[in-house]
Amino acid sequence: MSIMTKILAAKPVTAALVTEMQTQAASLTNQLGRKPKLVVVAAGDDPASAIYIRNKQRRANTVGIDAVTEHLPVTARTADVLAVVRRLNADPTVDGMIVQLPLPSGVDTEAIRNAVDPEKDVDGFTDVNLGRLWSTPKDRPITTLRPCTPRGIMKLLAFYNVSVAGKRAVILGRSNIVGKPMAALLLHANATVTIAHSRTTNVQAILGDADIIVAATGSAGLVTDADVKPGAVIIDVGMNRVATSDGQTKLVGDVDFDSVQHLASAITPVPGGVGPMTVNMLIYQTLEAAQRRADRQ
């Protein structure tokens, strides 16, 4: 059977989202009397974090959001970070806030995560927002701020008209960042959802029955053509650096793209698939938080 595989690339989705967000940011600037504002709280000198922060600031500036970083030294302790978070919670000019991980050794990440005001939690990581996500009744729209990667995946599927309702979805990975909230979003969209993880037995049989596979394990090339049924939709969240034969490195996903592509009806590339959607959703949710503030005013 010949399958025409649709490549679910982020670039056209991003173009549409940027236009939408620029319009909304301009409207909010008029309503609020200032630009919507996103603050990144960071501590230490992790080089990867610095790159992520720059990417977020660039995208925010592109759409008309004021993005700034509150940077603490590597010697910062839990009380120091909490003080910054609480100050930003109380600041009426701050619409969205994220705490860039990792934090320095010894800092209580859980305490910091849950100190963020849920109405400003544009990462969607607080227990309050995760609880709201899971408790939303099936007949009501989800309005809470939610983890950005799963929300970006849902935007990607909707843009390419990939049907979810009634489909069997298997998620590889059970993190609070991707796996669990992804399950909640797919379930709310009327998919039948299974979460598989490191202790799951007979994973290949479970994957072979899936209409949709979301791979989020951090294991390069884990999913191969032996795991996928013809016509399945493959969402690859993995971002893994692997060595090449010439001594360089390249970015690959959790899915062996070359072997799976000919079987899938749709598949996300790595890079250029899920990754850019995560940053877009962070900015998107900052605008949502700002809109709620404008509506209250």
CATH number at residue 167: 3.40.50.720
Q: Is 153 in the same domain as 81? A: no
Q: Is 269 in the same domain as 168? A: yes
pLDDT, tens digit, 9 for 90 and up, residues 84-113: 999 999 999 999 999 999 999 999 999 999
Question: Does residue 2 surpass a pLDDT of 80?
Answer: no
The pTM for the full model equals: 0.96
pLDDT, tens digit, 9 for 90 and up, residues 283-294: 999 999 999 999
Token pair listed for 84? 């910054």
| Catalytic pick among 35, 66, 95, 100 | 100
- Number of structural domains (the chain) is 2
Q: Is 99 in the same domain as 201? A: no
Predicted confidence at residue 245, as pLDDT, reads 87
Q: Is residue 50 part of a domain?
A: yes
pLDDT, tens digit, 9 for 90 and up, residues 36-60: 999 999 999 888 888 889 989 999 9
Give, in degrees to the nearest 5, the angle at Cα 216 between 215 and 222.
55
Q: Any residues with CB less than 8 A from the CB of 80 and at least 6 apart, and which?
A: 43, 72
Q: Indicate if 123 belongs to the active site.
A: yes
| Catalytic pick among 66, 121, 123, 227 | 123
What is the domain range of residue 216? Answer: 149-274
Q: Indicate if 100 belongs to the active site.
A: yes
The DSSP-derived string for 243-262 is E-TTS-EEEE-SB-HHHHTT
How buried is residue 191: exposed, middle or buried, by Cβ count under 10 Å (0-12/13-18/19+)?
buried
Q: Is residue 157 part of a domain?
A: yes
Question: Does residue 1 surpass a pLDDT of 60?
Answer: no
Token pair listed for 51? 């790159």
Q: Is 154 in the same domain as 270? A: yes
pLDDT above 90 coverage of the chain, percent = 93
Q: Any residues with CB less than 8 A from the CB of 239 and at least 6 apart, and which?
A: 218, 251, 253, 270, 271, 275
3-state SS assignment for residue 121: strand
Q: Is 110 in the same domain as 166? A: no
| Catalytic pick among 24, 35, 37, 56 | 56
User: Cis (ω within 30 of 0) for the bond into 230?
Assistant: no
Residue 175 assigned as binding residue: yes
Residue 173 assigned as binding residue: yes
Four-residue CA torsion sign, 197, 257, 239, 120 = negative
